Structure 1
Amino acid sequence: MPAPWLEAHWPLPASVRAFTTLRHGLGVSQPPFDDLNLGLRAGDEPTAVLRNRALLREAARLPSEPCWLRQVHGVDVARFGRTEEDEAEADASVTSTAGTVLAILTADCMPVLFCAEDCSEVGAAHAGWRGLVGGVLENTVAAMRTPPQRLHAWLGPAAGPQHYEIGEEVYDAFVSRDWSAGSAFVSTRPHHWRVDLYALARRRLEAVGIDAGRIHGGGLCTIAEPDRFFSHRRDQRGGRMASLIWIEPGK
């Protein structure tokens, strides 16, 4: 049976593991959270979510309980070692401690995972449109001790450019700060556009010094694939996927 997660594809050794969970293949949540909902604040039964987290930890052989965050669509970044309090209020996290598992929850927003080329440090960011506008990716890179030129980034599953329609507020938020960001928008009807979150993320990562050839992933759409992904935009009520990254201890 295939694993209930999608591995990050990037040219890094096995000493770093990174993936985004899928909707099915593991878990005990009932509709509309079926099956592997990992979000405690999505409306699911807490006992089911905690069971799902335990099942994931066992199936993926996680070296520790993930460092879950209280995500608020902001730009704050938490640095984790071994003993920090769980669920810091932040939308990104970084660590250089082997065995510390970083986690981001999404259901249309984009998870962006980072890794130093020598695998000495990793990071994870929750990048919906508000986070992208506010600078959550820039803040995550700045919080890392690794120079941007030595980082790799992976863009996990998010609402795709063929299905993610937004209004004037979102368009203005990006274009008022950077007129050339308009290339990531396609007009659909008066005051509405389809937006390419992946393109916006790539622009911002390149602007802070990550080479385009070191930015991987993108191209998936959570809205278009209900059998694989949760989508808040599509379903309104449903579960959350987790994107995890960690440095394997002893490697």
Structure 2
Amino acid sequence: MSGDGGSRTIPGVTHGFGSKSAQLPIPLQPYCSTRPATKQVHGTRIVDVHHPLQACGEADGFFTREPGILLSVLTADCLPVIFCRKDGQAIAVVHAGWRGLLEGILEQMAQRISLEDSTSNWVAAIGPAAGVCCYEVNEDLINNFQQLLPFPATMISPSYRHLDLAAIAEAKLTALGFAAVDRVGSCTICTPNDDPALARRFKYTSYRRNSHRREQDPTHPGIKGRNQYSGIIINQ
């Protein structure tokens, strides 16, 4: 699986990662009305989805074997991670910010898959998120990651107080036994706009970038309603 738009590398499955050009990727837009109803809370709860528009409550991960149901997550700097069985018979998606990564949402998804399958039959793709180039956090958070995760300190934070969310996620997914892990999409904070039809400087909506702008100019608009969706669907 790769690319910002839909991909057919696994037959019968379409996926994509949103941007300012298309908050919900164009190949997924026809299925918008099937999305489960949910509230993301930076948690680790995974929900099995059995029918369109299913009420899922508070959740940050979704799993289904049902065709025709779009699974998606909304992000602005957090990691969207999508999953697919190599034969296209099952899919999943998670919203993984620093809290979710630290508290184990990827492990929860692997546990859900392992109830009836092996993660070795699955592939994953990590979408656009705050990159290590820009994602500066406090020193206590870096220390928490380095103390709690069994990965090299320099992989977690290659430079002072900068957190590498994508590298952490990739290391976790590899350790959990997924057959392949793609890192797709660039930094949501600094990646420039590549759509000539849009008179905007940046490609993605970014909570961190927006917060910095609002600190400098309180009249600068917020990002509510402008986050990007990433999703995947088994085609009917």
Structure 1 residue 147, shift from structure 2 partner: 1.0
Q: Distance in 2 between matches of 1:137 and 1:143?
A: 10
Structure 1 residue 85, shift from structure 2 partner: 3.4
The residue type equivalent to 2:89 in the other structure is S
Aligned match of 2:139 in 164, 168, 182?
168
Structure 1 residue 67, shift from structure 2 partner: 1.8
Q: Distance in 2 between matches of 1:68 and 1:19?
A: 19
Secondary structure of the equivalent of 2:151?
helix
1:185 is matched with: 157
Matched residues, number: 210
2:186 maps to 1:220: yes
Runs ≥4 residues deviating over 4 A:
56-59
Q: Is the 8 A contact 1:198 1:218 kept in 2?
A: no
1:209 is matched with: 177
Q: Residue by residue, what CA displacement relative to the aligned partner does 1:189-221 show, whole Å, maximum 9, x if unpaired?
A: xxxx1111111001110111114xx10124510
Q: Assess, with a 3 A threshold, how the Cα gap between structure 1 residues 9 and 203 changes in structure 2: closer, same or farther.
A: farther
2:41 is matched with: 72
Q: Assess, with a 3 A threshold, how the Cα gap between structure 1 residues 59 and 178 changes in structure 2: closer, same or farther.
A: closer
TM-score in terms of structure 1 length: 0.76
The residue type equivalent to 1:12 in the other structure is I
After TM superposition, the structure 1 = structure 2 runs for residues 75-90 of structure 1, keeping only pairs within 5 Å, are: 75-82=44-51, 85-90=54-59
Q: Distance in 2 between matches of 1:117 and 1:136?
A: 21
Q: Assess, with a 3 A threshold, how the Cα gap between structure 1 residues 248 and 64 changes in structure 2: closer, same or farther.
A: farther
Q: Distance in 2 between matches of 1:178 and 1:228?
A: 31
Aligned match of 2:206 in 231, 239, 245?
231
Q: Is the 8 A contact 1:9 1:154 kept in 2?
A: no
TM-score in terms of structure 2 length: 0.81
1:125 is matched with: 94
Secondary structure of the equivalent of 1:209?
coil
Secondary structure of the equivalent of 1:180?
coil
After TM superposition, the structure 1 = structure 2 runs for residues 86-125 of structure 1, keeping only pairs within 5 Å, are: 86-125=55-94
Aligned match of 1:194 in 159, 162, 166?
162
Structure 1 residue 100, shift from structure 2 partner: 1.1
- More displaced stretch, 149-158 vs 59-68: 59-68
Q: Is the 8 A contact 1:64 1:99 kept in 2?
A: no
Q: Residue by residue, what CA displacement relative to the aligned partner does 1:107-131 show, whole Å, maximum 9, x if unpaired?
A: 0000000000011110000011100
CA RMSD of aligned residues (A): 2.4
Q: Distance in 1 between matches of 2:151 and 2:10?
A: 32
- More displaced stretch, 176-185 vs 122-131: 176-185
Structure 1 residue 68, shift from structure 2 partner: 4.1
Q: Assess, with a 3 A threshold, how the Cα gap between structure 1 residues 10 and 196 changes in structure 2: closer, same or farther.
A: farther
Secondary structure of the equivalent of 2:168?
helix
Structure 1 residue 7, shift from structure 2 partner: 1.9
Question: Runs of 5+ in structure 2 lacking a partner?
Answer: 192-200, 212-221
Q: Is the 8 A contact 2:82 2:232 kept in 1?
A: yes
